[in-house]
Structure 1
Amino acid sequence: MGKIGLLKHAAGSLFIQLLLSFLAILIPLISFFFFSFTLLKNHATDEVIKYNTLSMNKTIEKYENHFNQIRNIGLDLLLDEKLNTLNRSTLDYLNARSLMRSINSYLGHKDIALHNIFIYFKKSNFIISGDRGAGADEMFSQYYQSADYSPAFWAEQFSKSSSFSILPSSTFKEKTINQLTAKGRYMPVIVRNKFFPDYQVIIMLDLNKMLHEFHDSSQDQFLLLDAAGNPLAANNVNEQVESTLPAWESGKNDVKQNDIYYFNKVGSVTGIRYVKIVPDNLISAQISNINSILLTLLIVFAIISICAAWFFTKRFHNPVKNIMQSIQTLNAPSAVQSSIHEFNYINDQVRHLVQTNNTIDQANSRKNSLLSYYAFMNKIKNIKLKDQELYDFSIQEPYRLLLFRLQFTPSFFREIDADEGKASFFVREYIDSHLKTYVQTQTIQLEHDLILSLVIGNSIQEDIPAFLSSLKTVFDLDQRYWSVTIGVGSLYRNSSDLTRAYEQVQALLDYRKLGNVTQIITAAEPLPDWQAAMTGGQEQELYTNLSSGNEEFVLRIVSKVLGQLEKKDATANQYYDFADNIVQLVTKTFASLHLDMQALQSHLALSGKARSCSNQDELQDYVVQLLTFAMARVNEKKAARDNIIEFVMKYMEQHYQDDITLDILSDKLNISASYLSTYFKTKTGMNFIDYINNYRIDMAKSLLKGADLRIQDVATQVGYQNINSFNRMFKKISGVTPSEFRKQQYLIEG
């Protein structure tokens, strides 16, 4: 048999046939892999550019989030109440130390690249940082000296209008006696608030830490530019590249110039342009690495495929009968048909399940579509009942709820010949008529001062729809008679959210500010600060001075609290809560001093309710008139003291240094001690022992302010033989110990 015959015989063997069959299957796979390799190779440059773009976007996100945190820290510090006490010629050391602790609490955050925080006080030209307090000139010429930023530069920043400024990085040094010591390279950030023009927060960012934390590699060539294109910070960028930056094209994040790729993007928060610089040879090296990896994978895949084909061919070649039976089974038409039948059966069952589910959905949809528009409106009238079933109707388009609250002024009741209900009805009719010219709507009257509108349609996408502006203009024409608050709910699409939507607009009405103008409040409004208008200490101090008839002090506290409410842009409810608190304190004072409660009730009835005040002037007049009335009654009672009270008080003033008891005084007056105690409390509103203790502590304060006496000597002179008893009583009445009181006086007097 010749060579040709041997080749034909070998080619006809089962082993060769199986091997060729496996290879025939593998060749398309290898071809597909080779095609994929070629395609990836051609698009490798695009993929590398995408990779660098994604890497840059990730880095920018870290920078932007970090700068946003920095701005929030600066704004928090500007709202610190201690700043008012520090912007004066005399430094309040206690508040200064407390402020430094607040600064250090931020500096302790490991995830923020902070080096130091300065709070710059304009009036006193003084700076408090995390580690010291110093004059501005001393701080920036000695401790943080920079060739780029002089002390005059920082002072000029008070005149800038922007609330958030990021300045170019600079090297800062500390000046000692013999030399300048480099502190590091920092990026200054200035945070200002137009409502607090006398303060600014300067935050030093650790540039090296930012570069280490925010970049995938320390070798990245990265550049930060401000809106004018001036460099803010750079990493591994030489001056030649920095001076030959390309022109940035709008909407294009990568630019190639002089064999260098510039990936750039403008931050959405800061407006900084971030530039990542990648030389073309680096991209070529990356592409070469990708090509090498792909080629290696192709070769490995081909070798593994051939080995696998050889292995499986050997396994099938040995059990010839099993292979033949398997081939017969696989090639039999019935087997193929059986396989297809099972596949079709499974598909038929899945199709049946899908059709059944669709049938159920269609049935539900048909059921919901049977509900009429008027049935839906009957349900919406009961929206405020939380247990109301709302699933029996649907709204097919986007919708919002608008809740209107009318607050009638005293001028309405004096000048308008109509009651509140009738006026509200006409307002509801006008609102309904006005809204129907723009959108599909239904308006209902919930209470005499509450009107609810449901607006539906695709034209209400804006947070404040345009048709509300014209409505506000009309309402403002009658602000003499009423003020209107409009709560604009969020955009909803499901009728199941109707109860939540109503609760939301109800809550929005509580955000109204005190004033006559119409106010439109949306869910985007920041939540108000719900802190109480007065601290517990202020409330106690106000009550004490109110009970003693100290009108000047009481009115000064009220003026201060109202000023604080105005400064933090308080809501109307916060003003009303403060007025209600004053009413409670006055009532408590009348009860404790046994004053004429009927006269107080008559005054309150004549003045009306505090919540009828439509602006701050009216509310301030209401509070001042109430307090003036109350203190007049208190002072009248003080002036009406009888001979017994006059004798007791005169004796106390002459003998407060001695031991004074009820027994001693009752013997002098020829009455019982128990009767004198009850009589004194009834006439003065204060217990005998509390009165003498308060008098002695007042005398002690005078001695602590004036004479340079030891505290023990002061205690003896005001009738306390035990220094511990004196200290306890002094702190109970004054809130501080005698030594702390003396230190405060030294600070106040300079």
Structure 2
Amino acid sequence: MMLSNLKLRATANSLFIRLFASFLIVVVILVSFNYFSLTFSKNKVRDEIINYNTMNLKSTTDNYEKEFELIKNQLLNLYFNENEQLMYFNGDTINYEIAAKTMQDIRQITNNPLLYLDNLILYYRKPNLVLDKNSITSDSTFFNKFYSSKDYPLAFWQAQFQNSTHFRVYAPSNFYDIPFTNDYNSLGQAFPVIVKNNWYQDFYMAAFLDIRKMFQAFHLSINDNFFILDADGKQLFTSSTDEKLGAPPTYDKEKMYIKKDNYYYFYREGAISGLIYVNVVPDAFIASQVKLNVSLVSLLIVTLGIGIVASLLFSFGFHQPIRRMIASFKHYNPLSPVQSRINEFNQLGSQINRIHADLSRKNLQLQSFAYMSSVKKIRNNLEMDFIDRPYVIVIFELTYKKRGQEHLAIEQNGTYYMKEFIDFQFKSQYSESLTFQIEASRIMSFAFIEETDYPALKDLLVQMQGIFDLDKEELYVTMAISSFYSSAAQMTEAYDEALQLSKQRRLNDKTQIIDKHLAQDLVTMFLPQQQEQEFAVNLQAGNATETRQIVNRFLAQLHKRTVSSLQFYHFANEIIHKTLKTLTTLQVDFRHLGDLASLQEQIFGCHTYEQLVSYLNEFLISSIELVNRKKEERDPITTFAIEYLEKNYSGDITLELIADKLNISSGYLSTYFKDKTGVNFLDFLNDLRIRKAREMLLEPGSRIQDVARKAGYQNMNSFNRMFKKFSGITPSEFRKQTVS
């Protein structure tokens, strides 16, 4: 008995039995759910369809009623129009000037496409006069020729003066223009709407609404069977083309719809016009939903049979290879620890899990080493395990905003967790991807991907960008995507391409995604020769404003061209290098500014364009202050020479003249002046004269010839040549820039 129970339990724990039973349970649950859903929805379909048609008719009714109310208000407002008042109080006399203004008011109303007006008339009984948008004529002419209708002859319109109803919508009719006998020009079918004011017994207005345009605009149902009845149940309008459909049954205010023969009639009464709107739905449309339920039940039964057969075949096909694997493992290790209620997995789990975990860990380490060695061109005996499969490399450059030894541990931990996060994101979408840290702040991801899947990769990086931005106060990331490669031998090339792309990030502190489509050509990072010379002269002369303007203008040009941050850093490094070189030439002590290495590190600490501009301006201001202090420390010889030049720059000044005044030789003065100021005598004089000339050119009404003479130049060619040498542009170009 015990052996029978054990055998039965072993059979019940078989993977085949459990797998097949699980499939059957899922199939039965799904079938049961669908069956009860169909049963429940069967009773709801009819109610939902009725509710839909009720709401649809309500919308149509509201649209019609709003239109009638709008027409009523427009016409009542016209009663109080100044021109209409003057027309009415003139009595039998016709003032054609006022009539023309009134006709213009009528045209303005009828031209509004939202009113769906064909025409609008003003009818005066005493002069038997009718005004519409195009004419002013007698009532007999208008209603017999211009706007004729068999349903509404002249007598009908004359009788409306005795009618006490102030607003009424009449049945639509076809109206014609009859210029000659038996010559009928159709004006279309329209609703006549009469609006009266009881204070004006000899006058009323009538609007003619285009019934087809209103129907197309307001009736939004899939059924074209639509009626409009008056308050007595008389049919005013129908859009139905169904010959089997007769007149709607009598309207019962207690019911929202009535079923007659094979149709459902939905009713709604208008609050403004008192009209009754009827929407008709064939009973076959609603009954078709019930037939659909029968079809779904039949399909459900067929699906159940297919599900059972498919479950049996799938379970058998899955079980057979497992049995062969079990037989193989039993040959090597028959005593396996039991860890599952399924016999087959009890035997597989103990044999495979330990081996698989160990091999996976070692394989991942070897794979990472092989990929990293290939990227770094390190020779090894490992071979890449793919051939001719397209792949891309994505480099993640991490830039931490807070640097220093105290933040080193934070950077190391941050880079590790970033690597784990990137690896998780890539593996969730590309199972064969590999992510590893290749530098202190550089992470590389390798993924097999088809070129057609590139948009999906871009979307993944955009999602990661949003997560990286959560830590934007601490760091920002540059994500560079290589082109597609297919050979393992090209891995170094792919890595180098992505690395070069990462160097083209823009100068800001936001996470950026860069691929070959965003790559830009390098531009020069150095000042043009003329601006460079002007920079050197102004720096040596201690002119802070001019020196900063030269640098700021070039920085603005780089910013406008959206160059890379690396190009900005190269330019800033060049400015610092030239400034320190000038300070060294002038024998200025600048040690407190820091050495070149520390200054360069501060440059790379500027993460935005504004930070870099601010840093360079502060550096130049500090450097020029040192230059000016050095100038103030000069000896009496250079002080006398400079003061004399500043007072007499417009005259004929020579080196010999000043040397005589100092009672020294001109050669000694030239060498001495250059040694103390860092610039030779003639360059200093010409720079002084050009600076004074620029100031004079800014004065209104100044002439270039007069400025040249006052600045000490008697020859215009010399003046133009020196001005361009020290300013980079000609005097006329300088004036145009300042004026503009």
TM-score, normalised with respect to structure 1? 0.44
TM-score, normalised with respect to structure 2? 0.44
Q: Which has the larger radius of gyration?
A: 2
